[in-house]
Amino acid sequence: MNFDRITIEPGKRSGQPCIRGLRITVYDVLAQFASGATEQDVLQDFPELQHEDILACFAYAAEREHHSARVAA
């Protein structure tokens, strides 16, 4: 998977994974969806984001979950 849109910078948002170097974290986006927001809601709340950024957040989260499942096994 291509995670070029996900960046981690130690001095930004405490090193949390962010989107394209912005101060918007993967968690920020996923938390909105978990609260029942639609993609349109998220894009309205974060106008700097693009559809591909949201897909990258889901892919990043899925890969982390897959990795943690393998480590636990």
* CATH code, domain carrying 22: 1.10.10.10
Q: Is residue 33 part of a domain?
A: yes
CB 29 within 8 A of CB 46: yes
For 32-68, b/e burial (b = at least 16 CB within 10 A) is bbeeeeeeeebbeebeebeeebbebbebbbeeeeeee
Q: Is residue 44 part of a domain?
A: yes
pTM, two decimal places: 0.86
The tens digit of pLDDT for each residue in 18-72 reads 999 999 999 999 999 999 999 999 999 999 999 999 999 999 999 999 877 677 6
Q: Is residue 32 part of a domain?
A: yes
pLDDT of residue 67: 77
For the beta carbon of residue 27, count every other beta carbon within 10 angstroms: 15
Q: Is residue 1 part of a domain?
A: no
- Per the structure, the count of domains in the chain is 1
Q: Domain limits at 32?
A: 6-72
